[in-house]
Amino acid sequence: MSLVGIDTGGTFTDLVFYDEDEKRIVVSKIPTLRGREDAVFLEGVESLDLSAIGRITHGTTVGTNAILEGAGARTAILTTRGFRDVLEIGRTQRLVPQSLFDPKFVRPKPVVPREMRLEIDERVLADGSVETQVQEADIEEQAEHLKRLGAEAVAICYLHAYVNGENEKRTAEYLEKMLPGVYLSLSHEVVPEYREFERFSTAALNAYLGPKLENYVGSLEEALREKGSRAPLFIMASNGGMLDAERATRFPVRTILSGPAGGVVGGVSLAESLDIDHLITYDMGGTSTDVCLIRDRRPVVSTENIIGAYPLKTSQLQINTVGAGGGSIAWRDEDGALHVGPKSAGARPGPACYGFGGGEPTVTDANVALSRIGPRTSLAGGLELHPEKAERALASLAGELGIPGAVAMARGVVDLAVMRMVSSIREISIERGFDPREHTLLAYGGAGPLHAALIARELSMSSVVVPRYPGNFSAVGLLMADAVQENVGTCFAALADAQESALDRIFEELITPCAEQLRGAGLSEIETLRYTDVRYVGQAFELTIPVPQTRGWLDSLGGEFHARYEARYGHCHPGDPLEIVNLRVRVSGVVDKLGWV
């Protein structure tokens, strides 16, 4: 059986073909065409015998780009009467990074405008009992309104639906009859846990992305079938697992970090092969750099995330992204200061040294001018470099800044790019209580290994690992991803009063449907991880604590929480009461890993 991994980045699309029988691997790169990612995908598999492929795994940036560019579907919300403005009010916080002290800050508009947020007479109480049941006549009236508004997708977000989603299900059944073809997103399925603002926001984003990803994945599946492929198409999920095409289109919000997640999964596999416990993955591509911390061969996962200015309550690898890649443009601001990124030259026209008409200096141009990339080096696709064009672009910027010559300018560009990437690594390590000196730096991506030693020196890291095929390593990681199902249930309980047997029963109820789905997909080896969200009584945030599958785990939960709390915040309060908020499970259908790594 053969496997294919295709990772679509902002600049290049990376492909990996692996023949399990011959233990043969082939890698390639194709320039990414924004808005035509499906055409690039199909171009990449054109030369393959698709009838012999056993599995295709795809990492995509379609969802991320749609949110950041405001290019999603025309979305509406149906919500409990009186809660129309939850998305607008939020938590009265500035969620946009670096905006707290910005006197000119203007809050971004919600992904669903007010005229598209409609109210329904229904009510589920906090204990799950239904006080007011949804009426078909009420839904029919609002469905007519939605038709007039031109809604392409609808998020159904009712109060306390995480406890009892019956009213949301009834509403969906009515809408499927009244609005055939409109994408539906049910909040209790997208985020089955409490906190209305985050649940509403995530369900709205899921609806916003749904039609776009549904069309994208559907067109790929149809084109692959026409070319003779019988292989299932999987989409990389933000949590480091892979989703089948049906679940990816049902929950597109889980694919926001689909692209960079593949490299992290590859990093975990590499850590196991090399017997390394702690890693920091560092993926520098053409447009951006993604970094992630791996402790004890497990990446750090977060359920409190923000994309753009919107809260995202889904499980994601804690990947930090900075707009500094090989194609990042160096520029002078109105005050005369030098900046690198976030704007990128892309693959076309690309850096000046590519010779495709790009005239602005980039990080790649700086490395060519410094001979860190040899002038006769042939890049992906046989691309030949033009050092004189790189030096000309750098000299022009140097003149604007009063810097003597292209070489000095190039040093400044590289140093500034390195500082931005170092800062990104500090955010996921030092600022969260982890010492980067305890970790190995895993450098990959088209430009990652080139800057790895400079970054390791700044962080006093003593070891750097560069994997085979570093420029395609994220695509390699796609082939190592397990099929993952996650489930969560809100379960408020004072730790002092909690009963281990009762909590174990709830864990089993969460695990069973996930394991059945994976076994139904033909995956026989199932691995299960359990977690619980714990906090001090009176707090509004939690820490997620791993729960072993052994008896007596509840007795040690408090001590584990205090230790992790102190590591994160520098203090703890062992005498204060604790409470359990959520129970979480991660169920994996394990696939065979590539032995050559």
For residue 12, pLDDT over 70 is answered with yes
Give the three-state DSSP class for 284. Answer: strand
Both structure tokens of 164: 């009892």
Both structure tokens of 196: 């209305």
Q: Which residues are CB-contacts of 346 (< 8 A; sequence separation ≥ 6)? A: 10, 11, 32, 34, 286, 287, 327
Check residue 478 and give its pLDDT.
94
What's the rounded Cα separation, in Å, for the pair 408 and 412?
A: 6
Q: Indicate the DSSP class of residue 323.
A: S
What's the rounded Cα separation, in Å, for the pair 293 and 204?
A: 29
* Helix ranges (DSSP H) in 383-499: 387-401, 406-428, 448-458, 473-478
Give the three-state DSSP class for 259. Answer: helix
Phi, psi for residue 74 in degrees, rounded to 5: -75, 110
How much is the pTM? 0.89
Which is higher by pLDDT, 495 or 65? Answer: 495
Q: What is the mean pLDDT of the chain?
A: 92
- The pairing of beta strand 483-494 with beta strand 464-465: unpaired
Segment 108-118, tens digit of pLDDT: 888 999 999 99
What's the rounded Cα separation, in Å, for the pair 124 and 163?
A: 8
What's the rounded Cα separation, in Å, for the pair 250 and 214?
A: 8
Whether 356 contacts 350, CB under 8 Å: yes
pLDDT band at 253 (very low <50, low <70, confident <90, very high): very high
Whether 371 contacts 377, CB under 8 Å: no
Q: Indicate the DSSP class of residue 403.
A: -
What's the rounded Cα separation, in Å, for the pair 444 and 531?
A: 31
At position 310, the amino acid (one-letter code) is: Y
Check residue 593 and give its pLDDT.
78
- The pairing of beta strand 75-80 with beta strand 153-157: parallel
Check residue 69 and give its pLDDT.
79
Check residue 596 and give its pLDDT.
53
Segment 310-365, tens digit of pLDDT: 889 999 999 998 888 899 999 999 889 999 988 888 777 889 999 989 889 999 99
Most confident region among 285-299, 334-348, 365-379, 450-464 by mean pLDDT = 450-464
Check residue 305 and give its pLDDT.
86
Check residue 346 and give its pLDDT.
79
Encode 539-565 in three state secondary structure: CCCCEEEEECCCCCHHHHHHHHHHHHH
E-only strand ranges, 32-80: 53-59, 75-80
Check residue 100 and give its pLDDT.
79
pLDDT band at 381 (very low <50, low <70, confident <90, very high): low
Most confident region among 76-80, 92-96, 376-380 by mean pLDDT = 76-80
High-pLDDT (> 70) share of the chain, %: 99
Distances (CA, A) of 329 to 356, 358, 363, 366, 436: 15, 10, 7, 10, 28
For residue 87, pLDDT over 70 is answered with yes
- Count other C-beta atoms under 10 Å from residue 496's C-beta: 10
pLDDT band at 595 (very low <50, low <70, confident <90, very high): low
Check residue 380 and give its pLDDT.
65
b or e along 139-155 (b: 16 or more beta carbons within 10 Å of the residue's beta carbon)? beebbeebeeeebbbbb
